[in-house]
Each structure stands twice: as structure tokens, then as C-alpha cells.
Amino acid sequence: MLKKREAALLTSTIMAVLPGFIPWGGLVQAQGQTQGQAHGLTSARETLVKVLNLSNSSKLATKPALAMLSGVARGWDLKSLGTLQPQPDKIMAIDANHAVGRTQWSGKDGQTTDYYFYLVKDIDGQWKVEDCRSLASIGVAWEARKKLKAKKKLSAEQIYQINNMNLLLSSDAQLSAWFKNNKNRLDALYRLAKALPKPYPAIIRASDKKYGTIASTIAALNLDSISMAETGELQVILGGFDRDFVGLLYSDRKGKLPPVSPRAWLWVEDLGGHWYLFRHT
């Protein structure tokens, strides 16, 4: 569970970018591409698939692989990034010259983590992988949850922590399914939070009983916290560990979404109904 200072830091970051930002890009969903952009994504996907397969064959340091790497990725000096799904399950344009693709890394004990590959189009029009990111603290959170589960007796707070970590450690696909199952409750949570008198509280947790149904809904959904922006956006922190966060953002200002990049907002995905899934590091 996030410390109050960490949650407040993310809240202030969101508020700073939502009023308006300049690309590195508002995320453009694949289904909304022009014909030319769709063709570009096809080429970007082809490059990423080649890099993934070379990595799985421990050939990431070979000349054919290096020819498809740029920036940070060019300096990896690794034969492999581990066991990765050989096909991205989703790839989206960030702007005309940048894209992000998602695949999954498999580790011990059944651990599966979403990996995000960032691609850039060079001056010759060729797509190259320039970085790969995931939430850095996922491994630590995985071990922390395992230690909690190993305890013979658990307090109510520890049970809540485990349930909350389950959200943090879920894949994007699992969180998307969780969202669909809980969308009505999340919509109601948004309406209740928006109806609060301004200025809105910086953060609300399940323990903040004075907020009544809002607090009880946060508890029922095993959320970390929520924050309401003065401009009407709701941030729902599903889970966080150290400086890594996974959450949902309600915003009806699609053109004002946080910019996706390997440096902070690793992933922002449209779930429909003004809701977006995000990962931030």
C-alpha cells in the first residue's frame, strides 16, 4: 500500500499534466488510426516481433538484433531479456514517430509481468526498439505478498494488503477484466467523489470513514486510494509499491491524457466509458 506522501506525489504529477501537455504524445488508440498510421504500426509490430524472437533465442547481442535497436536498448549488452511472449498482444501509436507494444515476461512461481517496448522511427523510416520497461518493484511486491501468504494467522489489515497486492500484481488483461466486472461500482464512486464539496481532499482511503460510501466502496474493491482533481478527473490507485503505481483514471478530456513514455507513464490504455488503465513509475 502506498504511503500518503507517495500517493500525494502521484496526485500532484497527474494534476500537473492533465491541464494540457505537449507530445511525446497523447496516446492514440490503434482502432482510431488513419490508414497510414495503421501501416506504420504494422511495420513497428514486425520489428518488435523480430526483436522478441531474437531475445528468446539469446541472440539479442547479435548484429541482426543490434540493427533493430536504438537509444537505451542499443546499450543493453544482453543476450536475452528472459522468457517473453513472442508476439505483442497490443501495440499503439504514441505519435507519428513513436509507438509502444506490450508483451508478457514469465518468471518463477508463475509470475507474469507486462513488459512495454518503446519504438521509434529513424530518419530512414525504419522502426527500432529504443527501450523496454516494466514496473521495477513488481518482483519485490511479489516476494512481499508471498511472505504475507505464508503467515499462519493474518490480521484484517494484512488480508487487505494481500488483496490490494493482487491488483498491483495483476496483468493488464486481468485488470481489464476486473474493470469490466466492477465498472458500475467505479462509475458510482466517480459520481460520489465528484459530488464532494471543493476543494477536494488530496487523497481518500478505506480508513477515512467520514467519507461514508466512498470509503466503504474503496474497501470493498480493495483499492489503495482515490484522488479527485479540481478539473473533474478521478485517479483510482489500484495498487502501488515504492514509487510504482497501477491505477485507473477517469477523464472525459481525451486530448489531455498523460503522455506515454518510458520515463514515467509507461502505459495508458482506453478501457471505454472515459476510463483509462495506467502504469506509472
Q: Is the peptide bond between 64 and the residue preceding it cis, with omega within 30 degrees of 0? A: no
Cell of residue 257, nine digits? 491524457
Q: Is the dihedral of CA 57, 62, 68, 72 positive or negative?
A: positive
Which of these ranges, 90-99, 136-145, 264-273, has the smallest mean pLDDT? 136-145
Distance CA 168, CA 178 (A): 12
Are 223 and 208 contacting, i.e. CB atoms less than 8 angstroms apart? no
pLDDT in tens, 226-266: 999 998 999 999 998 777 899 999 998 776 788 899 999 99
Please report, for the chain, the start and end positions of each structural domain, with discontinuous segments joined by +: 4-24+137-280, 30-133
Give residue 242's region: left, alpha or beta (phi > 0; psi -120 to 50): left
Outline where DSSP puts E strands in 82-192: 83-84, 90-95, 98-106, 112-121, 127-133
Please provide the CATH number assigned to the domain covering 30-133. 3.10.450.50
pLDDT score of 189 more than 70: yes
The pLDDT of 89-94, averaged and rounded, is: 96
What phi and psi, each to the nearest 5 degrees, are found at residue 171?
Answer: -75, 165
pLDDT score of 11 more than 80: no
Distance CA 189, CA 214 (A): 6
Amino acid at 141: A
Confidence band of 4 (pLDDT split at 50, 70, 90): low
List residues bridging with 272 in a β-sheet.
Answer: 275
Cell of residue 188, nine digits? 458510482
pLDDT score of 117 more than 90: yes
pTM of the model: 0.86
Give residue 45's region: left, alpha or beta (phi > 0; psi -120 to 50): alpha
pLDDT in tens, 21-73: 223 333 433 334 444 455 579 999 999 999 999 999 999 999 999 999 999 99
Percent pLDDT > 90 in the chain is 75
pLDDT score of 221 more than 50: yes
Q: How deeply is 152 buried, as exposed, middle or buried, from its count of CB atoms within 10 A (0-12, 13-18, 19+)?
A: exposed
